[in-house]
Amino acid sequence: MAQFDVIVIGSGPGGYIAAVRAGQLGLTAAIVEKDPSGLGGTCLRRGCIPAKTWLETAHRLEQMQDSADYGIDGVDPKSLRANLENIVKRKNRIVLKNGKGIEYLMKKNKVQVIKGFGKLLGGGQVQVTGETGAELHTAKKIILATGSVPRELPGLETDGVRVLNSDHILDLKTLPEHLVILGAGAIGVEFASTFARLGSKVTLVELADQVLPIEDHEVGKELEKILAKSYKMDIRVKTKIASIERGADKVVCHLEGEKPGVVECSHLLVAVGRGPVTASLGLEATQAKVDRGFVEIDGFMQTSEPGLYAIGDIVRTPMLAHVASDEGIVAAEHIAQSLGNKDVHPHPINYDRVPGCTYCDPEVGSIGLTENKAREKGKDVQVGVFPFMPMAKANIVGEPHGFIKIVADKTYGEILGIHIIGPKATELVSSSVALLGGEYTVNELINTMYPHPTLNEVFPEAARAVHGRALNM
């Protein structure tokens, strides 16, 4: 039996960051991971990182098809095609490299890695079942960071062959002739954008009234328009897949709703969100409260069980890697403080200022309130929208599409939300974080100087558009 100050169960971006921070603060720490392939969790192994390698390949393939327009001769667009085996190989190399990096961080910060399935026994005890059997470990504090898995729908259960989830599709070696995607959230539109550019026919089905349902309504409409026009994508909102028929080489989807019909495809991707991994963790042996699989926590990530913390996708906060990482830091610092370190001062996360990123093409980045949400909160709202089309840098990079939208309070000029669809939107939204929270007003943004030519120049232009006086329009 080994004893620690803190044991972290799960090594995703929340778990491994929590373990690193605990080690930095001088705590004896261990991290438990059941995945035999290594550390990193869903984000590294089956989510954020591998999906973005596919997206990068699709983006480069698209750029190469326009090489002649950039003055580059010798590239025959008709000869270009996706080699999925090599895409997967590159994805695996990147995952392996990043996994080694996490292993190095564990050694550097003196975090012990324990391989196996961790289960709570109560009283600070964790049973880890691995290849050599069960071992018992104890800790003063425990952090649960077990992540999430793709949700399954009755009647649409995935088989990894023709009916896929987001895990399966990352290892496809043959390009789908026709890919139907159920769910137009971030996961759905990213894979739709990827496979349409790689050469698949894509049909995107979404029950809500827009693609990217959690984003601002104008962003959703713009993305739908671009995907349909640029990639000839068949997009069906307010529609669901009522049933399917599985064949040896096809899937027949029966659709109901605003755009009903029968769609025959080679593959179906079910991308309807993710569910928390909390079953079989032994939470019933604790006082922690669980609601439909999600663990209830306070502002410092503490559960109702003394000494037990929960972070990441198993709590009801945004299912984003950067959120999990920040939650891991909060939990580790609160643990260190509770164990006597008076030099650390954990701060609860302000979830109203969480940036969201969708890596389709065009990219989407957002932070703060949408226009509709701001109005629902009773705000006296005014908005400014400015397109990328007039911006020199957007034309230079060949992506003069999309826009930036600022949602502001009319009375005080406070910036309530920023929503971007267009080139490098996921990078641009990073600089938006500092603009929210009342510290910055529309007028101050107007008076902020941005370098030329850059994509960032859209910020003051959108701020001017709030008052109807953009300079480049």
169 found inside a domain: yes
Active-site residue set? 452
Question: Is the same domain home to 239 and 381?
Answer: no
How many domains, in total, are found in the chain? 3
Asked whether the predicted pLDDT for residue 187 surpasses 60, the reply is yes
29 found inside a domain: yes
Question: Is the same domain home to 31 and 132?
Answer: yes
DSSP three-state, residue 310: strand
Question: Is the same domain home to 13 and 129?
Answer: yes
Q: Tokens 């910020």 sit at which residue? A: 459
Q: What is the pLDDT of residues 397-450, one digit of tens each?
A: 999 999 999 999 999 999 999 999 999 999 999 888 888 877 789 999 999 999
Question: Is the same domain home to 288 and 141?
Answer: yes
Percent of the chain with pLDDT over 70: 99
Question: Is the same domain home to 308 and 190?
Answer: no
pLDDT at 279: 94
355 found inside a domain: no
pLDDT at 34: 97
Question: Is the same domain home to 382 and 455?
Answer: yes
Confidence of residue 473 (pLDDT cuts 50, 70, 90): low
Q: What is the pLDDT of residues 363-380, one digit of tens each?
A: 999 999 999 999 999 999
Last residue of a domain, one of 256, 272, 288: 272
Q: In angstroms, how far is CA 177 from the centroid of its own chain?
A: 27
Q: What is the pLDDT of residues 59-90, one digit of tens each?
A: 999 999 999 999 999 999 999 999 999 999 99
Burial of 284 (0-12, 13-18, 19+ CB in 10 A): exposed
Extract the tokens encoding 73: 């001769």
Percent of the chain with pLDDT over 90: 95
Question: Is the same domain home to 44 and 181?
Answer: no
pLDDT at 454: 96
Q: What CATH number should be reported for the domain holding residue 192?
A: 3.50.50.60
pLDDT at 437: 74
* 170: enclosing H helix or E strand: none
Angle of the 15-24 helix axis to the 84-108 helix axis, nearest 10: 20
What's the whole-number mean pLDDT along residues 224-249? 97
356 found inside a domain: no
Q: What is the pLDDT of residues 45-67, one digit of tens each?
A: 999 999 999 999 999 999 999 99
pLDDT at 305: 97
Question: Is the same domain home to 113 and 97?
Answer: yes
Last residue of a domain, one of 232, 250, 272: 272
pTM over 0.85: yes
Question: Is the same domain home to 329 and 372?
Answer: no
Beta strands in 97-238 (DSSP E): 111-115, 117-122, 125-130, 133-144, 148-150, 163-164, 178-182, 201-206, 234-237
Q: What CATH number should be reported for the domain holding residue 414?
A: 3.30.390.30
Last residue of a domain, one of 252, 272, 292: 272
Q: What is the pLDDT of residues 129-162, one digit of tens each?
A: 998 789 999 999 999 999 999 999 999 999 999 9
Extract the tokens encoding 441: 């007003």
pLDDT at 131: 80
Question: Is the same domain home to 199 and 331?
Answer: no
Question: Is the same domain home to 18 and 132?
Answer: yes
246 found inside a domain: yes
353 found inside a domain: no
DSSP three-state, residue 342: coil
Question: Is the same domain home to 22 and 130?
Answer: yes
Q: Which residues constitute the domain of residue 84? A: 2-149+276-338
473 found inside a domain: no
Rounded CA gap, 462 and 308, in Å?
Answer: 45
Asked whether the predicted pLDDT for residue 282 surpasses 80, the reply is yes
DSSP three-state, residue 40: coil
pLDDT at 61: 96
- Secondary structure percentages of the chain, helix, strand, coil, to 5: 35, 25, 40
348 found inside a domain: no
353: which DSSP letter?
Answer: G
Q: What is the pLDDT of residues 319-337, one digit of tens each?
A: 999 999 999 999 999 999 9
Closest alpha carbon to 33 in 140, 128, 143, 141: 128
